[in-house]
């Protein structure tokens, strides 16, 4: 049995076993039939990624698979969230015609988007805004999108400009437009939130043996598609940094962190205690084995904000602090635990080099931004200030998403980016204040999304927007807007049926076909 087949068997067996657990847990919140269907969708796409070793055959096969399997799901955007982390975001450009070298780049996430989010954009009744809540977020998002498309004019040729503009549009526009408008009730929103967490628990179960066996299971997928591994084995202090199915360790840590944050609502919504505890253990372990400090800090911030907004803040803070202290003391008794503590920034002794690099990057990038303050520059990597940041691998790693935005689109782009997320957080704060006594369930979702966004905004200060990172923060931001609108609609429609207490309020009973 070759390495690729061994990797496929390992992933399939681990995924199937973990899906039995996840399906049983989520059956009480989304329905057993829907949970079963999602499990089949996940296993089908995972199998396709390993079996279809030619990339373009995989694109065609996955498109057919998504089209066929998504027909049974009434809320099709949920399939996009479910399959967002199913494979790396690596892709290849469509070969050009009539003198054009290449067309747009296609990656697995875009394939899923075209068959789930794109059709939803044309559902007129779904895309009508529920109310005016979040209109400032809509405005800042639109202005940011227009700016990114307009800056494509910097491209060296007309075809390159058009290609870049289309790719910029497809990266974020369908995600925000659909997820901020599609959910019309809490039943819809509950399902979409569950679709964010469901697959990450499965991947967390995969990442643990990956870490223990020093074996990146999914690397053979990229090798078969593109002829070489786009990224090698990343080690830290002698330990393999798990990546699961995503782009690299820090992206996997970020994905796990987001799932933990949203899971504070999803996993506390009708799941049994054993399933809830098991899911959090898997997600926490998955986050740890990424050995990524940024997502660790983001997860801590997420939990702290969630606790601060909870109705029993003091008791929950005391319980969480006691549990954290106990875990810290126990970890010091094991070699792995001591190594983890040593990796913590400002606490351990082995984080100095990466912190120093990030500080220097911030200083040098600031110099470049001040020279191009309004709309940035497309050639910022060529600036002498950043050339000094070139590492041993021959790359300049912009490990800060805010610097990435500021360098490319100046202080105008950075202001719009920050203004959007500020508006979303403000809307969620207001929604939480208005709904927490009327419905503790929806109040918990408001807390979880708000806390997760805080964790996200902190984490992306330590990493560039690569892999699934931008897909997730635009999705969570859009869902935050949708949740604020649902709350506003509920609070001001007291005589109508209570959508936040009725699961699947606008969705017909799910049936497996």
Per residue in 323-348, pLDDT (tens digit) is 776 766 676 667 767 667 666 665 55
The terminus-to-terminus CA distance of the chain in angstroms comes to 36
CB 269 within 8 A of CB 444: yes
Q: Would you state the pLDDT for residue 338?
A: 66
Q: Would you state the pLDDT for residue 42?
A: 96
CB 198 within 8 A of CB 34: no
DSSP single-letter state for residue 128: S
Measure the CA–CA gap between 202 and 279, rounded to whole angstroms. Answer: 9
Query: Token match 């639109």: residue?
Result: 142
CB 161 within 8 A of CB 153: yes
Question: Hey, which residues does 105 pair with through a beta bridge?
Answer: 93
pLDDT band for position 499 (50/70/90)? very low
Beta-sheet strands, E only, within 334-487: none
pLDDT digits (tens, 9 = 90+) for 368-416: 999 999 999 988 888 888 888 887 666 888 889 999 999 999 999 999 9
Q: Could you count the other beta carbons within 10 Å of the beta carbon of residue 290?
A: 30
pLDDT band for position 156 (50/70/90)? confident
pLDDT band for position 510 (50/70/90)? very low
Residue 38 resides in a domain: no
Query: Token match 């747009």: residue?
Result: 104
Measure the CA–CA gap between 75 and 152, rounded to whole angstroms. Answer: 34
Residue 218 resides in a domain: no
Q: What is the mean pLDDT of the chain?
A: 87
User: In 3D, which of 246, 214, 253 has the Cα closest to residue 231?
Assistant: 246
Residue 47 resides in a domain: no
Q: Please state, in angstroms and as integers, the Cα–Cα distance from residue 346 to each residue in 62, 291, 354, following that order.
A: 45, 16, 12
Number of domains in the chain: 1
pLDDT band for position 112 (50/70/90)? very high
Question: Greater confidence, 122 or 175?
Answer: 175
Residue 55 resides in a domain: no
Q: Please state, in angstroms and as integers, the Cα–Cα distance from residue 244 to each residue in 181, 200, 240, 255, 263, following that order.
A: 31, 9, 12, 10, 19
Residue 326 resides in a domain: no
Across 87-101, 458-472, 491-505, the highest mean pLDDT is recorded for 458-472
Residue 64 resides in a domain: no
Find the mean pLDDT for residues 414-420: 97
Q: Could you count the other beta carbons within 10 Å of the beta carbon of residue 223?
A: 15
Measure the CA–CA gap between 19 and 40, rounded to whole angstroms. Answer: 9
Question: Do β-strands 235-236 and 102-106 pair in parallel, antiparallel, or remain unpaired?
Answer: unpaired
Q: How much is the CA Rg of the chain, to the nearest whole Å?
A: 22
Q: Would you state the pLDDT for residue 438?
A: 84
State pTM to two decimals. 0.91
Residue 123 resides in a domain: yes
Residue % of the chain over a pLDDT of 70: 87
Cα 512 to chain centroid distance, Å, stands at 28
- Residue 160 DSSP SS3: helix
| Concatenated DSSP letters of 131-164 | SSTTHHHHHHHHHHHHHHHHGGGGSSSHHHHHHH
Q: Would you state the pLDDT for residue 332?
A: 63
Least confident of 77-86, 330-339, 471-480: 330-339
Residue 316 resides in a domain: no
pLDDT band for position 504 (50/70/90)? very low
Residue % of the chain over a pLDDT of 90: 59
Boundaries of domain holding 407:
71-199+228-311+351-500
pLDDT band for position 98 (50/70/90)? low
Spatial CB neighbours of 316, under 8 Å, sequence gap ≥ 6:
307, 310
Spatial CB neighbours of 113, under 8 Å, sequence gap ≥ 6:
80, 170, 174, 175
């Amino acid at each position: 049995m070759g390495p690729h087949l061994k990797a496929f068997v390992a992933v399939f067996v681990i995924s199937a076993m973990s899906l039995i657990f996840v399906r049983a847990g989520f059956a009480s919140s989304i329905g057993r039939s829907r949970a079963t269907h999602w499990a089949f969708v996940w296993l089908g796409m995972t199998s396709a990624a390993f079996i279809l070793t030619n990339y373009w055959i995989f694109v065609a096969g996955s498109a057919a698979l998504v089209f066929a399997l998504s027909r049974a799901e009434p809320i099709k955007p949920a399939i996009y969230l479910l399959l967002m982390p199913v494979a790396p975001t690596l892709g290849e450009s469509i070969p050009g015609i009539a003198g054009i070298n290449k067309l747009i780049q296609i990656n697995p996430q875009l394939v899923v988007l075209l068959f789930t989010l794109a059709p939803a954009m044309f559902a007129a009744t779904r895309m009508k805004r529920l109310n005016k809540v979040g209109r400032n977020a809509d405005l800042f998002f639109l202005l940011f999108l227009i700016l990114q498309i307009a800056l494509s004019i910097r491209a060296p040729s007309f075809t390159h400009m058009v290609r870049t503009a289309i790719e910029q549009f497809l990266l974020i526009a369908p995600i925000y437009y659909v997820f901020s408008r599609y959910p019309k009730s809490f039943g819809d929103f509950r399902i979409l939130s569950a679709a964010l967490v469901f697959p990450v628990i499965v991947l967390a179960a995969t990442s643990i043996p990956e870490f223990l066996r020093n074996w990146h299971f999914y690397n053979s997928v990229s090798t078969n598609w593109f002829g070489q591994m786009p990224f090698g084995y990343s080690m830290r202090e002698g330990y393999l940094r798990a990546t699961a199915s995503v782009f690299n360790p820090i992206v996997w840590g970020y994905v796990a962190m987001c799932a933990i944050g949203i899971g504070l609502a999803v996993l506390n919504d009708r799941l049994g205690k054993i399933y809830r505890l098991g899911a959090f253990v898997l997600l926490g372990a998955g986050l740890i084995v990424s050995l990524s400090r940024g997502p660790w800090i983001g997860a801590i911030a997420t939990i702290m904000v969630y606790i601060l907004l909870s109705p029993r803040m003091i008791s929950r803070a005391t319980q969480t602090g006691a549990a954290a202290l106990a875990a810290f003391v126990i970890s010091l008794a094991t070699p792995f635990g001591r190594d983890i503590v040593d990796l913590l920034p400002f606490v351990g002794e082995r984080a100095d080099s990466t912190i120093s690099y990030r500080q220097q990057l911030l200083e040098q990038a600031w110099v470049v931004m001040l020279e191009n303050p309004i709309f940035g520059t497309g050639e910022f990597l060529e600036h002498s200030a950043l050339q000094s940041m070139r590492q041993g691998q021959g790359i300049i790693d912009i490990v800060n998403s805010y610097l990435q935005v500021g360098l490319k689109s100046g202080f105008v782009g950075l202001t719009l980016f920050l203004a959007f997320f500020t508006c979303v957080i403000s809307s969620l704060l207001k929604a939480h204040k208005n709904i927490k006594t009327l419905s503790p369930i929806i109040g918990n979702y408001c807390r979880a999304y708000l806390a997760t966004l805080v964790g996200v905004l902190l984490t992306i200060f330590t990493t560039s927007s690569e892999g699934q990172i931008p897909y997730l923060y635009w999705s969570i931001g859009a869902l935050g807007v949708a949740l604020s609108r649902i709350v506003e609609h509920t609070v001001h429609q007291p005589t109508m049926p209570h959508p936040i207490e009725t699961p699947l309020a606008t969705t017909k009973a799910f049936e497996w076909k």
